[in-house]
Amino acid sequence: MLAVENLSFGYTALRKILKGITFNIRQGEVLALLGPNGTGKTTLMRCLLGLLKPDGGRTDLFGRDILKLSAKERSRMIAYAPQSSSMTFPYDVLEVVMMGRLPHLGFGSSPSRKDRFEAEKALEIMRIGHLASNLFQSLSGGEKQLVVIARALAQKARLMVLDEPMANLDFYNQARSLKILRSLARQGHTVLWTTHSPDQALLVADRLVMIKDGQVYADGRPEDVITGESLSELYGLNAVVTETSVISAGKPVKICVPIID
């Protein structure tokens, strides 16, 4: 569905952020990107979305070079939820979520009843329907994050790209959002998301790509890739991965523990 080949990017000639990134995503797959702060995960996503032009390599979406697609074509196929979102004008929550329907509107046309239905449905999936009439600016950071995810859901794109979607969420909403990721995959959607939590990747991801210093450090099943050795190397600390007796999603749960000296 999405093929990334030898992708490179630098904001200046001397500051290379991405250095030959290669991986692919199959339809219906949940793929997590894991890596330290500043390693290039957000920059990589912006290149995949066509928001930044790589210095080298290419990204194909359904076999087509993503840079040759129009902005509207990309937005119909890819829904994006950034780490944070701010609004200059006083939009209410429902209006913000309905912005996810813009790729489906004709030039100069207004949202239809179907568009409103899809927006309200996305709010209910995220269990924030009670916030529909609230001003977006008045929400907490966690509530804003849920609204941004709902906007991406309303877009009804086949590929969901989520940049740290669990940031600012409490324990309940993290669990709720992880469950939604798995549900989207079962419905045929493909999910690419960045996370700082190897535990969350172990719970719901089909594949994990570790990014270190702008390069792919490891690529494979989370249970194979996430080890004490790989986490220690990735983050420069001592860590262990241990299996518990708890069963979640039909399998024993592994947890990652940093060793505090």
- Which of 175-209 are b and which e, b meaning 16 or more Cβ less than 10 Å from the residue's Cβ? eebbebbbebbeeebbbbbbbeebebbbbbbbbbb
Half-sphere CA count of 259, side-chain side, radius 13 A: 12
Burial of 222 (0-12, 13-18, 19+ CB in 10 A): buried
Summarised one tens digit per residue, pLDDT across range 138-151 is: 998 888 889 999 99
Domain ranges of the chain: 2-258
Confidence band, pLDDT 50/70/90 cuts, at residue 124: very high
For residue 261, the model assigns a pLDDT of: 79
Q: Are 17 and 9 in contact (CB under 8 A)?
A: yes
For residue 11, the model assigns a pLDDT of: 86
**pLDDT at 120 exceeding the cut of 80:** yes
Summarised one tens digit per residue, pLDDT across range 62-107 is: 889 998 988 888 888 999 988 777 777 888 999 999 999 988 887 7
Confidence band, pLDDT 50/70/90 cuts, at residue 1: confident
Mean pLDDT value of segment 127-145: 91
Name the class of domain 2-258. Answer: alpha beta
